[in-house]
Structure 1
Amino acid sequence: MSNDLPIRKIIHVDMDAFFASVEQMDNPDLKGKPIAVGGGGKRGVISAASYEARKFGVKSAMSGNLAIKLCPDLIFVKTHFDRYTEISKKIRKIFYDYTDLVEPLSLDEAYLDVTENKKGNPSASLIAKEIRERIFNEVGLTASAGISINKFIAKIASDYNKPNGQKVVNPEEVIEFLEQLDIRKFYGVGKVTAEKMYQKGIFTGLDLKQKSMEWLDENFGKSGRYYYYVVRGIHNSEVKPNRIRKSLAAERTFSENLSSEVFMLKKLKHIADEVSKRLTKSKVAGKTVTLKIKYSDFSLQTRSKTLPYYIRDTDIILETAKELLYQEKLNNSVRLLGISMSNLNTEKPKTPIEKKSISVQLKFEF
């Protein structure tokens, strides 16, 4: 790697089936059984599934009705977010014993920069192993970890040896690792983008690497530049201890499908009011309003509008959401509506990624 391109020792820690594992820990009768957190009732949607349930194809965001068809012995348990938050705080306390550079992504995962750490341990892989052992011994849960030179690769690596494992991608292995990687495993490449890449003959990192910056810009817009750099191992985003909120949202799933925009307006009013309250509580405002629509067939659609000024007022949020609702005809009856605010006044201007070549530093202990 070029000398002016920062090489860091980054760990991505990801708890294994966190919500479900907490429930199994708190209720020993559930251990070893297929459970789903949330998803009970006629309209329920699953928040998390145990590994025993995942073997049957049960996963988060799936309807409870479909899940029970896949796994007839599935046990539904209620969510206990206060408990998950309590456990998450204990886990983070362990992280801070090693470094202050901790960037939580959610209750169950975080990035740690251990390039320089409180233990004076030069081995990021040994630190990750020690952290995982402490989580198991002190909290009672298992975690997986990915270790590499940047956040992008560390996050991909943490998914490799789940559950209760870890994977290291050393500096000299980065290029080969990315070239052999299935494009679906690239963080930031969703299902729709993966299908588009497949149609264009891009199946692996090596296929992606053959494409020029201009070609990627033309075919994938703003994301093209991101793909161009990450496939070359270049991802300069630092671990940010005080992660800036980039969006804020609220949504509702309805007990009965709604088939007319008129019936949705009252629901939107409540959602807009909730978003406004959260913006006010967080002392932020936003310019971009996004309306989320989930149809009865579970297909998802989003519609967005960016205003020339920051807002947090319920009435303006509602009026913009209504405009988006009537923007085009609905595809089907609707089971869920959501409103999110982004482009917040907390965001800092983005600096362009510098064009840098990538070679390999072999003497960097991991």
Structure 2
Amino acid sequence: MNMISGFNRLGLQINIFAGDHPEMRFWKLVGRFGMRRSLLVRFATFAILCTFPLATAISSPHKIVWKAQSSYPAGLPQLYAPAAHFAKLVKELTDGRLVIRISPGGSIVPSKQVFEAVSTGVLDVGCTWAGWWIGKFPAAVLFGNSYPNGLQMQEMLAWIYTGGGLELWNELYKGHGVVVLPPYGMLGSENFCWSRKPINSLADFKGLKFRTVGIWGKCLERLGARVVSLPGGEVYPALERGVIDAAEFATPAIDKKLGFQEICKYLKVPGIHEPCAPLETLVNENSWKKLPDDLKDKVKYALKLSSFHAINLAMKQDAEAMNFFLHYPGLHVSKLSPEMIKGIVKIGNEELDRYAKKDAFFAKVLKSQRDFRKLVEPYASLVRLPYPYAK
């Protein structure tokens, strides 16, 4: 009776077990024990077969594929490579459940349209730099750290992760369909400039045709320079032909790759105008919402690993490039004087304050960064050793 009622609950009609049905005589001859054993075996087999597809589904979940693009070409060190490394880490950490297919700049959308492409869902992920969006979001330049006397690398990372920086970054883009995740990489200090003429004082900027962008360009204009905005690919020929007298572009390793040492006599350091540059990770808001929580955690972890790897690799690459410049025939490498740095910082702060008066959110982010620096400065000034430590 228990077996009959059990099968009836499954919707099976087995009437031969009921009452005095003639067929019951046959089953009595076979034996009640043998009958039950046979049915139990069949039922167990049926149950195993029913659960097999479920087990397979659990062990092989649906693969998610995200379309991603960098704002930079594949050949540039420190810019595209960290994005590719991030995508590789995500695939490994998620056991292939999430695959990010990263493409070089310009392969899907133009480099300066990555934000819009992520916002509208053309891309799931954009690996870029916040400074591109200064025209639409003035405060973006603060997250790109492209202004005189910005936060240094360790300070910037600490502000992003522990000082409210990432939350402010997301607030900046709120309502535009994107989520900002921690940087996928980080550039160190840029070269201050490459030039065909010596620059030994602030007065030397007067009349100088200088390639740069953003707030730093406004500062140079105040010093009398004629600022020219050029895409990265046009800087070398413009310097070579004398269309411009000086230019800043990126870090030692990237500048070496572009070959500026071949056409310029002078290299000035350090890059007071951009002490470091966080590389921006944008994710389409809907794509992020649909992602399971465990995969979200793995993506964030992959970003920490990719940044760590990028920073360490960049240190080695930039050191090798600078040593190359120091021994390059005919190239004069020199440091900004303390007087030049002091004057640049003064003008930079004045420009930042001018932007802050016009834009409340710019002022909010600037105050957050300045407050964090005030927190760090006493400690840093006491514990940072002069370099080199000893000879």
Pairwise same-fold verdict (TM > 0.5)? no
**Which TM class, normalised by the smaller chain length?**
under 0.3
- With normalisation by structure 2, the TM-score equals 0.21
Structure whose CA Rg is larger:
2
- Of Structure 1 and Structure 2, which has the larger fraction of its residues in helix? 2
